[in-house]
Amino acid sequence: MATTIVVGNFKGGVGKTKVSVMLSWELSKYYNKKVLLVDMDPQGNASTLIARSAGVSELNTSIFDGFQKGDLKDCIVNVADNLHVIPAQVSFKNLPKFLYSKFENEIDQVSYLNQLLDPIRSDYDYIFIDVPPTISDFSDNAMMAADYVLIILQAQELSLEGAETYIKYLQFMVDNYDADIQVAGVLPVLLRPGGRVDMSTIERAKEMFGEDNVMKTVVKHLERLKAWDVTGITDNDQHDRKAHKVFTDVLDELLEKLEAFEEGGKYE
């Protein structure tokens, strides 16, 4: 049965999509895991990047088709061995309207992705969900469908803004909709070039999220990671290998954490 993970932060441009894509890529390619990446962002950046990297020229299906049909199977694209994607297109922006006309009940509206994933969870080891940076039906559906959230911490900023809002909202989802989701970790990301981790931000993050929850691995700023937006993910030289290592390091720490959660029982 798949472990379902959403990468969260209520701000744009903090590296959510990059992290979702890279963790999916590394797990399927170098860890021999079966992975599904679900693109819940109508901008479709995650699906485009994965398709480009795998040499798939066109994605002519959309998650919205699956939502309308009540079955996601036909919109799963097999982009590489072990790596499947459910792509998003801009038309998916109409999801809220669709949900309100289909369901009267709020819980049903936010739980539809969860319901649609149930029949396919056993086909995968991991399911990643990429979300837009908004508090919306998109992120609500992702939270309801996920077992874990990996929260992005902007490690160069003096404020914990995006990550802090995320935690508050998570609590709201637990209180109002009985969401069954656990924080897998808080991942520091350096998005500006030449920057260092701001230690006071890390310290405050530890106070806020718990010492053990803030990950020791940091996603560094690497030009190569940005270049892959254009070229697709490659593995040809030492710069590529350095960029891959960032995410295999994240995975090694993350998988260890997940294992500990599973052993201890999610809520003990």
Ligand X SMILES: Nc1ncnc2c1ncn2[C@@H]1O[C@H](COP(=O)(O)OP(=O)(O)O)[C@@H](O)[C@H]1O
Residue numbers at the binding site for Mg ion (CB under 5 A): 16-17
Residue 24 as a binder of ligand X (CB under 6 A): the answer is no
CA atoms within 13 A on the CB side of 50: 36
Structure tokens at 244: 């891959």
Q: Which is nearer to ligand X, 228 or 261 (CB)?
A: 228
Q: Which of residues 226-265 bind ligand X (CB under 6 A)?
A: 226, 229
Q: Which residue, 17 or 139, has its beta carbon nearer to Mg ion? A: 17
If binding is defined by CB under 6 A, does position 16 make contact with ligand X?
Answer: yes
Identity of the residue, 12 or 210, whose beta carbon is nearer to ligand X in the bound complex: 12
Backbone angles phi, psi at 127, to 5 degrees: -120, 125
Strand order across the 126-130 sheet = 77-80, 83-86, 35-39, 126-130, 3-8, 148-154, 182-189
Residue type (1 letter), 27: L
| 110 half-sphere exposure, CB direction, 13 A CA radius | 18
Q: Taking the complex as a whole, how short is the minimal distance between the CB of residue 74 and ligand X, in angstroms?
A: 27
CB of 265 to ligand X, least distance (A): 31
Q: What tokens were used for 61?
A: 């299906």
The single residue among 221, 240, 248, 249 that binds ligand X, judged by CB under 6 A, is 221
Considering the complex, state which of residue 80 and residue 227 has its C-beta at the smaller distance from ligand X.
Answer: 227
| Shortest Å distance, C-beta 152 to ligand X | 7
* Contacted by 13, from ligand X, Mg ion, none: CB < 5 to 8 Å by type: ligand X
Which of 4, 24, 45, 154 binds ligand X (CB under 6 A)? It is 45
d(CA 113, CA 229): 27
Pairing of strands 126-130, 182-189: unpaired
By CB under 6 A, tell whether 53 contacts ligand X: no
Q: Which of the stretches 10-18, 59-67, 69-77, 86-94 binds ligand X when contact is defined by CB under 6 A?
A: 10-18
Q: Among 11-19, 32-40, 93-101, 117-125, which window interacts with ligand X (CB under 6 A)? A: 11-19
Nearer to Mg ion among residue 17 and residue 47 (C-beta)? 17
Shortest separation between residue 221's beta carbon and ligand X, angstroms: 4
Q: How far apart are the first and last CA of the chain?
A: 21
Element (H, E) at 151: strand 148-154
Return the residues of window 124-163 that contact ligand X according to CB under 6 A.
133
**CB 56 → ligand X: shortest distance, Å?**
19
Which residue in the block uniquely carries the two structure tokens 């637990």?
A: 174
Q: Which does 225 bind (CB under 5 to 8 A by kind): ligand X, Mg ion, none?
A: ligand X
3-state secondary structure 45-98: HHHHHHHHHHCCCCCCCCHHHHHHHCCCHHHCEEEECCEEEECCCHHHHHHHHH
Amino acid in position 188: P
CB of 219 to ligand X, least distance (A): 5
Q: Give the binding site for ligand X (CB under 6 A).
A: 12-18, 45, 133, 191, 219, 221-222, 225-226, 229
